[in-house]
């Protein structure tokens, strides 16, 4: 593609010059060839781009398999080290009777749940048992740059590293995944992803459903393409504009269903896809409430009929099953109507809980709203021509600096291209930030909470107030993983 682009660029400039010069120009034959390549390239690009806008739809879940719930990672007995996390390669029976080659943490596919308490010091031994380099990135955790697991922290095959950090942020649903330069998309696609829950006094006092796997359900949504041998063939499925698939896995479960008691159930939604956006709805059109964003509780529950999550975003929602019967046909569906997760309502009554009215004290201060913009970020491009501020990632270049503990306002603009452009989910490492405005307007109610990833539409301009509590070098990037791998990433040094 790169070579084609160069030829195409030459052809375009020649066409613009309009044959003024006979020197240093291509022959008519060469030019025909170049413009043909150009039109092929354009149609390739259009196709890739169109594919992204009109993505292949997901097959509806038949509901034949009960949803798998990730195990909770036990603490080690070993003195000093709290947890051990191993990146591994293995085989998983996703389809009955067939083993697929997959990656996982402490297992063959996906990872266990890590549960931290606010205020505790966590020590994790990370071990790379893959036959390629990887990193352990803690998405949404406010930690120092040297334990964040960005591309500079690659562990070679067989290597291990013990990291330590104090959990200083509030209750939230975070996750972890690899971040090696140029290989993130493939490793996540193969199965490297796990959840992190943070609990604090507030989360324990709110009386929200918190019986893990019963009425507090993690849901990692990922779309995949399986080949005829039921293998995840990333190279074959890969799309430079974001790899999507027709097969939905939730927590690695094919055709999942969730059996619930008659009670309020908390669903912790994570869009763990490489590129697909999800708009979650109930098939009945009924509403639900959102209680948390990426990095903590909303102040009050927000009643919604749908919630959209772009890759890496999370939302916690509560669905009320207490008044439903076993014959009710309820399911979580996607915007296009495909069934993501059918619910089976058991005749058991569960815990009766009330969603609290007041859950947090998040606010946008007057100072924050009046701060001038001090960093401008322009997202641009598609396929492998994606850039931030006109540049591709360079591990040796620091793009911005910011002082530890100082709030700045960043303005992020998604510059459209000649075909309109596309949504880029923008993520910043090592911090939780506040959305100040979207195109000058107040953010929607369900975005008035801590965020580490935001969806930005073409031609949209988003202002955020952002502070880093720790020092180090952090990545900011598009969370369409192929865009990230293609260089839509920059670095900020916090001093």
Length of the chain equals 495
Binding mask 228-267 for Cu ion (x = CB under 5 A): ----------------------------------------
Binding mask 116-145 for Cu ion (x = CB under 5 A): ------------------------------
Give the shortest CB-49-to-Cu ion separation in angstroms: 12
Please identify, using beta-carbon distances, which residue of 266 and 477 lies nearer to Cu ion: 477
Give the shortest CB-480-to-Cu ion separation in angstroms: 4
Please identify, using beta-carbon distances, which residue of 267 and 422 lies nearer to Cu ion: 422
Member of 177, 424, 427, 434 binding Cu ion (CB under 5 A): 424
Judged by CB under 5 A, the chain residues 445 through 484 that form the site for Cu ion are: 478, 480, 483
Please identify, using beta-carbon distances, which residue of 110 and 478 lies nearer to Cu ion: 478
Give the shortest CB-385-to-Cu ion separation in angstroms: 11
Both tokens of 130, joined, read 């893959």
- Tell me, by CB under 5 A, how many residues bind Cu ion: 4
Judged by CB under 5 A, the chain residues 277 through 296 that form the site for Cu ion are: none
Give the residue from 493, 276, 275, 478 showing the smallest Cα distance to 377: 478
Give the shortest CB-439-to-Cu ion separation in angstroms: 19
- ∠ CA 286-292-294 to the nearest 5 degrees? 120
Both tokens of 3, joined, read 């070579």
Please identify, using beta-carbon distances, which residue of 274 and 360 lies nearer to Cu ion: 274
Give the shortest CB-478-to-Cu ion separation in angstroms: 3
Spatial separation of the C-alpha atoms in residues 274 and 176, rounded to whole Å: 14
Residue nearest to Cu ion (CB): 478
Token pair 């772009």 is found at 310
Please identify, using beta-carbon distances, which residue of 124 and 478 lies nearer to Cu ion: 478
Please identify, using beta-carbon distances, which residue of 311 and 472 lies nearer to Cu ion: 311
From edge to edge, which strands make up the β-sheet containing 83-92? 100-105, 83-92, 121-128, 160-166
Spatial separation of the C-alpha atoms in residues 116 and 15, rounded to whole Å: 61
Give the shortest CB-482-to-Cu ion separation in angstroms: 8
Please identify, using beta-carbon distances, which residue of 34 and 480 lies nearer to Cu ion: 480
Binding mask 384-423 for Cu ion (x = CB under 5 A): ----------------------------------------
Give the shortest CB-310-to-Cu ion separation in angstroms: 9
Please identify, using beta-carbon distances, which residue of 186 and 200 lies nearer to Cu ion: 186
| Burial category of 411 from C-beta neighbours within 10 Å (exposed 0-12, middle 13-18, buried 19 and up) | middle
Give the shortest CB-241-to-Cu ion separation in angstroms: 8
Q: Which sign, positive or negative, has the C-alpha torsion 168, 174, 175, 179?
A: negative
332 near Cu ion (CB under 5 A): no
Binding-site ranges for Cu ion (CB under 5 A): 424, 478, 480, 483
């Amino acid at each position: 593609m790169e070579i084609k682009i160069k030829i195409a660029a030459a052809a375009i400039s020649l066409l613009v010059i309009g044959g003024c010069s006979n020197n240093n120009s291509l022959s008519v034959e060469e030019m025909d060839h170049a413009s043909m390549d150009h039109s092929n390239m354009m149609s390739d690009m259009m196709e890739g781009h169109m594919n992204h806008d009109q993505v292949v739809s997901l097959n509806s879940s038949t509901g034949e398999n009960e949803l798998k719930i990730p195990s909770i990672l036990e603490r080690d007995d070993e003195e000093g080290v709290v947890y051990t996390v191993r990146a591994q390669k293995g085989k998983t029976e996703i389809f009955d009777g067939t083993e697929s080659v997959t990656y996982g943490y402490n297992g063959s596919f996906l990872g266990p749940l890590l549960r931290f308490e606010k205020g505790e010091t966590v020590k994790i031994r990370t071990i790379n048992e893959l036959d390629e380099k990887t990193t352990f990135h803690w998405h949404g955790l406010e930690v120092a740059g040297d334990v964040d697991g960005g591309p500079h922290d690659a562990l070679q095959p067989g290597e291990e590293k013990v990291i330590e950090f104090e959990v200083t942020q509030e209750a939230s649903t975070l996750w972890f995944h690899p971040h090696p330069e140029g290989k993130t998309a493939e490793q996540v696609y193969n199965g490297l992803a796990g959840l992190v829950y943070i609990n604090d006094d507030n989360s324990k006092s709110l009386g929200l459903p918190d019986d893990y796997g019963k009425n507090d359900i993690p849901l990692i949504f990922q779309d995949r393409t399986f080949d005829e041998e039921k293998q995840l063939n990333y190279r074959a499925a890969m799309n430079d504009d974001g790899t999507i698939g027709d097969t939905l896995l939730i927590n690695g479960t094919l055709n999942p269903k969730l059996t619930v008691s008659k009670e309020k159930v908390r669903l912790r939604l994570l869009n763990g896809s490489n590129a697909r956006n999800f708009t979650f709805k109930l098939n009945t059109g009924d509403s639900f409430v959102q209680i948390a964003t990426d990095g903590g509780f909303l102040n009050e529950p927000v009643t919604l009929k749908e919630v959209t999550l772009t890759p890496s975003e999370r939302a916690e929602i509560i669905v009320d099953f207490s008044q439903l019967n076993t014959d009710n046909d309820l399911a979580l569906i996607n915007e296009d109507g495909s069934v993501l997760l059918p619910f089976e309502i058991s005749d058991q009554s569960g815990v009766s809980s009330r969603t609290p009215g007041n859950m947090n004290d998040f606010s946008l201060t007057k100072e924050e709203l009046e701060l001038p913009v001090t960093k401008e970020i322009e997202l641009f491009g598609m396929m492998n021509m994606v850039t931030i501020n006109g540049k591709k990632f360079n591990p040796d270049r620091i793009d911005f600096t910011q002082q530890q503990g100082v709030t700045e306002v960043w303005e992020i603009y998604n510059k459209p291209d000649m075909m309109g452009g596309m949504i880029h989910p923008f993520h910043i490492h090592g911090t939780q930030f506040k959305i100040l405005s979207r195109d000058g307007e107040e953010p929607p109610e369900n975005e008035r909470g801590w965020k580490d990833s935001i969806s930005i539409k073409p031609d949209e301009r988003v202002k955020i107030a952002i502070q880093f509590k720790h020092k180090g070098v952090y990545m900011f990037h598009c969370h369409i993983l192929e865009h990230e791998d293609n260089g839509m990433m920059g670095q900020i040094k916090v001093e």
